[in-house]
Amino acid sequence: MTGAGSALDQQLWDLVYAYDAAYDRAARAAGLSAAQACLLDALTGGSRSMGRLAVELLCDASNVTQLVTRLEAGGLVTRVPDPDDRRVKQVSITPAGRRVCRAVQRAFDFPSDRLGRLTGRERSQLSGLLAKLLAPEASSPS
C-alpha cells in the first residue's frame, strides 16, 4: 500500500532507524555528536590530515575544520602542522580522546546485543546475505 512495500522493506527501515538512534545515544552519552564520534573513530587508526578526513567522512573540508575545532577544544584531538608540508595539518587522537572513543564503543551495545541473539550459524547466514546486498554494483559492460 505504502509503495514498494513488503514487510522486509519495513524491517530494513526499522533496523536502520534503531541502529541510528542507538549510535546517536551512545555518542551523546559520551558527550559527543554522532559526527564527532565518527571522526574520532576514524583517528583510532592513526593520524590523518584534514583533507584525508574529509575524504574518508565524505564531507566538505570546512566541515572537518569545524568538527576538529570542537574536538580540539575538548582536548580529544590535536592538530599540528606537518613539518614536511606546512599547508597540511595532521590530526591525532589524544589519550583522552581514546578514552571517550572507547566509551562510545562500550555504550553502543546495539550490534553486539542484537547480533548476540543469533546463533553462530544464523550469523554466518546473515553475513552471507548482507554481503550480497552490499556487493558493489555489477555495472553493465562498455
Site residues (vs a copy of itself, CB under 8 A): 2-4, 6-9, 11-16, 18-20, 41, 44-45, 102, 105, 108, 111-112, 114-115, 117-118, 122-123, 125-127, 129-135
Binding pattern for the stretch 9-48 against DNA, x by CB under 7 A and - elsewhere: ------------------------xxxx------------
Q: Please identify which residue in the block is written with the cell numbers 572507547.
A: 102
Considering CB distances under 5 to 8 angstroms, the limit depending on partner class, which of a copy of itself, DNA, none binds residue 68?
Answer: DNA
DSSP 3-state percent helix, strand, coil across the chain (nearest 5): 60, 10, 25
Please tell me the distance from the alpha carbon of residue 91 to that of residue 57, in angstroms, as a whole number: 14
Shortest Cβ 85–DNA spacing (Å): 4
- Give 99's contacts (C-beta < 8 A, 6+ positions apart): none
Residue 140 main-chain phi, psi, to 5 deg = -65, 145
In whole angstroms, the minimum distance from the beta carbon of 21 to a copy of itself comes to 8
